[in-house]
Amino acid sequence: MTGNVLYPGDTLGIIGNSSNGPLLVNAARRVGLNVAAYTSETNSEIASLADAVFTGAFDNKQRLQAFAENCDVVTYESEHVPSEVIAFIAQFTKVPQGSDTLAMMQDRSLERAFFEGLNINIPPYATIIELDDIYASAASIGYPAVLKPMQKGIEQEQQLTIRSQADVPLAADMLQHGPHILEATIPNAQEISVLVVKGYPQENELADQIRLFPIIETNYQQGRLMRAIAPARISDDINDEIKRITQTVAHNVDYYGVFQLSFMITDTGNLFLRDLTPAMDRSGLVFDKAANITMFEAHLHAIAGLPLAIPKQYMATVLASFDDEQLDAIRTQWIIKSNWEFVFYHKSGRLISPAAGHVLIQASTVQDGLNQLSATTIWDPARPVAPAPSRLDKNKYF
């Protein structure tokens, strides 16, 4: 276990271009670590914060090797870093998250096969090579269904909702770019997430450390996180089943650090596991106010080989994202709301996300927090939401 410990004064390498990076740098600094950053953006925020900066593309092996050899441990802060890059870096330094889980979760077919191998309930799906496969699968999957590329985050990733047999020919162009999956749509599903922290065994112990943050509700629109609520409003039975599934997955992935599992609950109480994010998901920012430890602190403890704290809920907390068009209204709340924390995002380079920041609201109950949001009329459910940018640039937006 001693060989896995990261001490104050050691160097943590962070690779990726997402907005998680600067937050992780700040957490690392608080525990006395030096930080080296690998980024493709010369004027990114993480480049301005790190002690050492390595700028280059993800296919620049010379720069990647130099970066790795200057770090005691490297972590990736977004699931969009190519798994082959992490496998290459791992030849020269320690990468506690590894590359295997990342590679598996970047391939929708492998991801689903992994879940099925653990007997976990997932939405019905089929592998699609040609149009006839869609016609043949529709009988079991039903309409509407979503056609998705097999590989996540590929160039100009496109998804298509097929609402009836008449829509099937619209998929012809997409299928020219390779295999896809067709996945059933779960109507009126409640979105649920759980953050998991997996750490190395401690002295005289054989088992890995596994800790779960309180289960949260999430809401996504156009690929962007709009809201996160802690704790989730779910039944005790659903809560227990989510924890059971999460423990099963955690014991079966070769990964150390924070990751997220996303679930869907139908209006009849059926539970489906949607996906695994092998990185710190932005919904976890709700724990900046909701819990005794942030996801960045928990991630650092895990990859540094330290004992893991047990995340505990402090009080009900609601996170709500806002964009540039809402800034004037947000400024009004800025001078009114004493119990709201306002977080504004630094934007530079090609960071063109419409998201401008988020608010964190601590309240006596979840409903009280939601009522405070509704009273402002800033977050009108009927308001159009700008889509998140393409994953092409491998930046994580929300």
Q: What is the pLDDT of residues 371-388, one digit of tens each?
A: 999 999 898 776 666 666
* Integer Rg of the chain from CA: 21
Number of other residues whose CB lies within 10 A of the CB of residue 1: 11
In degrees, to the nearest 5, what angle opens at C-alpha 315 toward C-alphas 250 and 378?
Answer: 100
pLDDT, residue 138, reads 85
Integer Cα distance of 206 and 338 in angstroms: 47
Q: Does pTM surpass 0.95?
A: no
**pLDDT of 38:** 96
Name residues of the chain where pLDDT drops below 50: 1, 155-156, 349-351, 390-398
Q: Residue 283 has what DSSP assignment?
A: G
**Per-residue pLDDT, 206:** 84
State the pLDDT at residue 390.
46
CATH 3.30.470.20 domain extents, the chain: 190-393
Which ranges in the chain are annotated with CATH 3.30.1490.20? Answer: 124-184
CATH number of 2-105: 3.40.50.20
Q: How do residues 96-146 score in pLDDT, each as one tens digit?
A: 999 999 999 999 999 999 999 999 999 999 999 999 999 999 889 999 999
What pLDDT does residue 10 have?
98
Would you state the pLDDT for residue 385?
A: 65
In a 3-state reduction of DSSP, which class is residue 194? strand
Q: Position of tokens 């060989």? A: 3
What is the CATH code for 190-393?
3.30.470.20
pLDDT of residue 154: 54
124-184, which class in CATH?
Answer: alpha beta
Residue 283: what are its φ and ψ, rounded to 5°?
Answer: -60, -25
Q: Give start-end residues of each CATH 3.40.50.20 domain in the chain.
A: 2-105
* Residues 128, 181 contacting (CB under 8 angstroms): yes
Is there a contact between 95 and 77 (Cβ–Cβ < 8 Å)? no
User: Which one, of 184, 189, 176, lies nearest residue 137 by Cα?
Assistant: 184
Q: Give the Cα separation of 190 and 39 in Å (integer).
A: 36
Cβ-proximal residues to 301 (8 Å cutoff; 6+ apart), any chain: 197, 199, 307, 308, 309
Residue 224 · residue 209 · CB < 8 Å: no
